Amino acid sequence: MNVMRRFFLLFLLLATLLLTSSIAAVNQAQTQNQSNYFLEIQGIAWDQTTINILVITPNNESWWSPIYANSALRAIGQWNDALQNFAANYSDYTYLYNLKLQPTVSNVSVTGFDIYLNWTDSPLKKSSNEIALETSTILDNAIIDCYISLAAHTNHGDALTDGDMQNIALHELGHSLGLGHSNYTGDVMYPVYTLLSPSKYVSTLDVYGVATTFAWMSNAVSFYPVNQWLQNTPVTLPPNILYKNLPVSTQNSAPQTLANNPVIETLTLMFDILIHPEILAIVIVFIVILIIIAIVSSKRKKQMPKVDS
């Protein structure tokens, strides 16, 4: 029993050391690697601070589900949450307090809005299985209006869940704000999406990109000509801003699914940590130590003298 107790205590100690060093290594690696994260900027901008969005619901379609509209509204709210949080935490960008995405839901399309968001049954481009598309009308690098189309099914007939719909709506809304794609696979603006993915979040990099496209709000520059202050070149986070996902209010959080289950998310995080290159050697050493301890304990147990009762 004493051998097993010592083995268990040593196991806990090594596990604690491994977890601590793993988290530290991942945090250090993320700090070092965030300089490699970049976000493309389209070089176009809105000349207004309230962006009115018409969410058009095709209620007479057999494939339509009301959850899609709820997903889009949560995505709009999630962007508003991120903008407000960023403005509150980074004093150079407090002008983002005045930027708002204002949604209106209707089952008919009417004029007078800035962004029109609607749905189709099948992908926009069957050859590439493109499940979302954003197009903007541009005049002198200023955005006049924008159209977002979201597909309810893939070209294989797979239906998008409400979580999927919120994730892709987040991505397309980013495009409508003048953002391009990110090179970081974990970012909401990464160009490839996998169905049933966990909830996506707007990152500090995403909002920094928006702050760049709305820099005229700081009164440092006049809006026109846009191309003299806004270039369509990628941006990276300044040294004083760490890459992280921005918080979401309860009303704008995606509904609970298996992918969003805290246990699943924790296991996914642990797996991501364990396979991280910076700590792979530590994991291997940990496993080798456990094997050696098990072998030594087994040999000692066999050599212990027996005493008749």
Q: Any idea which fold 37-271 has?
A: Collagenase (Catalytic Domain) (3.40.390)
Per-residue pLDDT, 295? 73
Beta-bridge partner residues of 179: 41
Q: Are the C-beta atoms of residues 21 and 279 closer than 8 Å to each other?
A: yes
Q: How many CB atoms lie within 10 A of CB 102?
A: 13
Q: pTM of this prediction?
A: 0.76
Per-residue pLDDT, 71? 97
Per-residue pLDDT of the chain (309 residues; tens, 9 = 90+): 555 566 556 555 665 655 555 555 445 545 557 779 999 999 999 999 999 999 999 988 999 999 999 999 999 999 999 999 999 999 999 999 999 999 999 999 999 999 999 999 987 665 556 788 999 999 999 999 999 999 999 888 888 999 999 999 999 999 999 999 999 999 999 999 999 999 999 999 999 999 999 999 997 778 999 999 999 999 999 999 999 999 999 999 998 765 555 555 555 555 555 555 555 566 676 677 767 776 766 666 555 544 444
Name the 3-class secondary structure at 171. Answer: helix
Per-residue pLDDT, 308? 47
CA 215/CA 95 separation, integer angstroms: 8
CA 206/CA 277 separation, integer angstroms: 26
DSSP assignment letter at 246 = P
Give the domain ranges of the chain. 2-30+276-303, 37-271
Per-residue pLDDT, 14? 61
